[in-house]
Chain A
Amino acid sequence: MMRLLTLYLRSRQVPRAAPAAVVATAALALVGNEPDHPLQTVTFAVLALALGFGVLGLGLGGADPELDRTGALPWWRWRTTHTAAIAVVVLAAGLAATSAPTGLLVRDAAGLAGLTALAATAFGNQLAWTLPIAWGGVAAVVPPVADPVVLVVLTWPMQPPDSGVAAVTAVVLACAGSSAYAVRGTRS
């Protein structure tokens, strides 16, 4: 089991990508962390989380997805664990580096992890960065308005932590992304 895990992690480039992602996320969140400017702090925190997922998204697939599939493994468990693991790693880096509200970071990490998994399923692991970075980045630079509901959904990563609509959006993205990825894996 240990050997299998080692091989899996190596095939997903985790030994190099994970430290890089943690450092990048923490550094970016820390640069923008100014408790006097909550909006700036949250903006940088969202960009930092998106960057973390952008880097780790590549690891959602290996060099040869077709070959992976021939392995007699319960792949859905590996994939679900992997999605949850990148969410936890990026979230931990964010929590350590920024004073943005914890509820917001947890929600955004869950939703962006789902988007990463969704992009990996739809476009392949090399493009897994597209959805979390595009959506997170766009939300970070657009003013987070409180209505209409469509705009709350579009800017969900930047909404205040008590926003119900944003929380529901994040949960839906997390569930849809992780389950799609668990069932299908990366596009080959």
Chain B
Amino acid sequence: MSVLRTELRRSTGPAAGVLTAALGLAGLYTLVMSDQSELWDAQWTLLASFQRIMLVVLWPLALGAGAWQARRDRRTNMAELAATTPRPVWRRALPTSAALAIWLVLAYLVTFAAGAVRVAGSTDYPNAGWVPIVAVGALSLVAAGWLGMGIGRLLPSAHTPPILVIAGFLALLVPVQLSKSAEPSGAALLPPNLSTTLDEFTTIASRVDLARAVVLAGLAVGGLLLVMVARRKAAVIAIVPVVLGLAVAVPLVNAAPAGGVQADPGAVAEVCTTDGGPEVCVTTAHAKGLASLTGPARKALTLLAKLPNAPTSVREVTGERPQPAGEAWLHSDNYQPGRGWLDSGDALVVRILAGAGTRPCDPIDYRTRALAAAWLFGQYPAPGQRLRPGEEAAGRDAAWQTLRALPEPQQRQRIAEIRTAGLTCHGDS
């Protein structure tokens, strides 16, 4: 134990840990500086997966730190002296490896904690889905550190660490480059880093992260074996856990969804009003928006009642499924966690009324959606709808005049048709 305590203070571990944490914090907070913090501070799973994106930087550097650590005996001309002691190699190697792993895991967790401060203030959806994502990320750093130590011991040249770092960058970069055209699938999903940001309704497919964990565990054990074997000839054994890990993981990722992500059922689950009035529902990921939506939503429902095919409830939706005739839908893009609905009051009512309470459908016809909202609201332009003067504004004005020139029943008929057309939309936008 006292050896471990010494290694925790005196090995490459502290430097590697501090560097990892510093880079992680810099990555998180440069996004805050450039006003893109919603990429990670909206939800726990977003923070955890953003940290996984940053592994593209941290993983190769951890590899290099391990390789540098492995050269210590040789650098200080201690290798021969250590070889003469009756202590087995693994007894000397274990505390050093443990110290590096502890520092790297600590740095990863510190980065998460620093991001958690912001997430806790803005998320609507406390959940534990981030735990496996963070665990796999931390495991990946341990694997990188130990693999670096193992290769560094096998090839104890001063040039090993820099070459290994570049090799690490390439190993993580090449699958991303190859998948630029399509979503990564199969073995391209195996690197621990993610290449795209998620949204608050999506999470990493558990099967894919399990496969990554198996591969990383194989790499970690293989690296540790390289560090601990007594003779260089015995180093071949390190291939066994690596190959085993790959053999288990490849079938797992081959059966995984493309992109390696899946919908988070807990995040899209509905939270509804229970006060007996017309039903208003939001997704769990946006649960804090329910209170401020209820009033405008019910006002929108009374306005929609003018239609023959009027809906009776308002729901915030995401993803793809057919819209029932009895529901008015508001797309989840209208809400930002921690900031709330993009509009409030009458402008929010108008957002619900857009397309007569249907979701935007590709190709999105903004003019028709806006006209339906304005007609239902009884004011043109409706609150929040003002356009800058230009071709689109002139076209919309003309369309509005044409609509108002019709007799009242035909106007109503026209808006009801817009709603019916919106209901048949099957694509998400």
Contacts and interface: CB of A to CB of B under 8 A. Distances in A.
A134 B164 CA distance: 12
A80 interface: no
A40 B177 contact: yes
Contacts of B30: 150-151, 154
Contacts of A151: 30, 34
A110 interface: no
B159 A58 contact: yes
Contacts of A50: 166
A133 B172 contact: no
Given A137-B57, A141-B169, A54 B34 contact: no
A127 B173 CA distance: 24
B162 A138 contact: no
Contacts of A24: 163
Interface string A10-22: 0000000100100
DSSP class of A's interface residues: helix, strand, loop or mixed?
helix
Interface in A6-34: 17, 20, 24, 28
Nearest to B61: A134
Contact of B158 (A51, A58, A130, A147): A58
Contact of B34 (A57, A133, A142, A145): A145
A28 B170 CA distance: 10
A47 B166 contact: yes
Given A142-B57, A150-B30, A137 B169 contact: yes
A126 B33 contact: no
Interface in B32-88: 33-34, 56-57, 60-61, 64, 68, 75
Nearest to B169: A137
B165 interface: yes
B163 A55 contact: yes
A126 B56 contact: no
B161 interface: yes
Contacts of B75: 126
B34 A43 contact: no
A162 B109 CA distance: 40
Interface string B164-180: 01100110110001000
Contacts of A156: none
Contacts of A20: 159
A141 B158 contact: no
Interface in A156-179: none
B177 A55 contact: no
Given A40-B177, A148-B33, A151-B34, A51 B163 contact: yes
Interface in B1-55: 23, 30, 33-34
A50 B61 CA distance: 14
B57 A55 contact: no
A150 B56 CA distance: 20
Nearest to B161: A129
A43 B166 contact: no
A140 interface: yes
Which of A20, A134, A154 has the most chain B CB atoms inside 10 A of its CB?
A134
Contacts of A43: 173, 177
Interface string A33-70: 00000001001000100110011011000000000000
B33 A137 contact: no
Contact of B169 (A17, A55, A58, A140): A140
Contacts of B177: 40, 43
Nearest to B26: A154
Given A142-B57, A151-B34, A54 B158 contact: no
B162 A133 contact: yes
A54 B163 contact: yes
- Specify which of B68, B165, B177 lies most central, judged by the most chain A CB atoms within 10 Å of its CB: B165
Most buried by B among A50, A51, A137, A142: A137
A143 B374 CA distance: 42
A141 B169 CA distance: 8
A55 B61 contact: no
B70 to A, nearest CB: 13
Contacts of B169: 47, 137, 140-141
6 A-B pairs with the lowest CB-CB distances in the bound complex, closest first = A54-B162, A129-B162, A51-B166, A137-B169, A141-B56, A138-B57
14 contacts: A24-B163, A47-B166, A47-B170, A51-B162, A54-B165, A54-B166, A55-B162, A58-B158, A133-B64, A134-B61, A137-B57, A137-B165, A141-B169, A147-B34
Given A28-B166, A55-B163, A145-B34, 14 more contacts: A17-B159, A47-B170, A51-B163, A54-B159, A54-B166, A57-B162, A127-B68, A133-B64, A133-B162, A134-B165, A137-B57, A137-B60, A138-B23, A140-B173
Interface of A: 17, 20, 24, 28, 40, 43, 47, 50-51, 54-55, 57-58, 126-127, 129-130, 133-134, 137-138, 140-142, 145, 147-148, 150-151, 154
